[in-house]
Structure 1
Amino acid sequence: MIDVLYFAWLRERIGAPKERIDTKAGTVAELIEELKARSDAHALAFSDITAVRAALDQELVEDLSAAIGDAREVAFFPPMTGG
């Protein structure tokens, strides 16, 4: 089981701040594909993965091909901008 957290417009589109799921995904990208198949809301939220960033156990990943490994938490959020 893994905790999946959603922030900003991802949370709004999915309609929940987090969910706990059982996954067979080996990478963040594979997890996204599993999530997209869960519902139309998930599919909409992840329709443009170029606008999605992820963190594993609160560590930002460089790209979505990152291995999930034994992470307990995956967070998805839009790109951050400086100010």
Structure 2
Amino acid sequence: MSVTILFLGPLRDLAGEQEREVAAPLDWDGLLEAVGPEIAEQLGEERVNVACKGKVLADKRTLHAEDGDEVALLPPVSGG
């Protein structure tokens, strides 16, 4: 039983990988532990969003991912 964490944009560079498999179920505290302190610090910022099952969470701290789910870490997007 596992959850896939996807690291996007600059978070992928910090993680050194595009995705990581972790044990399911996964909640907010488990996510912070799974990604390590540097990425956890980034996730604490309001501008970084978390999506689960293809939907951006209104409150990322309510994360509850189950077996087979995909959790995407979405850094701020700049545009021009």
Q: TM-score, normalised by structure 2?
A: 0.74
Runs of 4+ more than 4 Å apart:
none
Aligned equivalents of 1:61 and 1:44: distance in 2?
21
More strand by share: 2
Q: What are the residue-to-residue correspondences of 1:17-36 with 2, within 5 Å?
A: 17-25=18-26, 27=27, 29-36=28-35
Q: Which runs of 5+ in 1 are unaligned?
A: 37-41
Long gaps (5+) in structure 2: none
Equivalence map 1:1-83=2 (5 Å): 1-25=2-26, 27=27, 29-36=28-35, 42-48=36-42, 49-50=44-45, 51-70=47-66, 72-80=69-77
1:4-61 CA-to-partner distances (Å, cap 9, x unmatched) read 1000111000100001111453x3x21332224xxxxx31122132142110011111
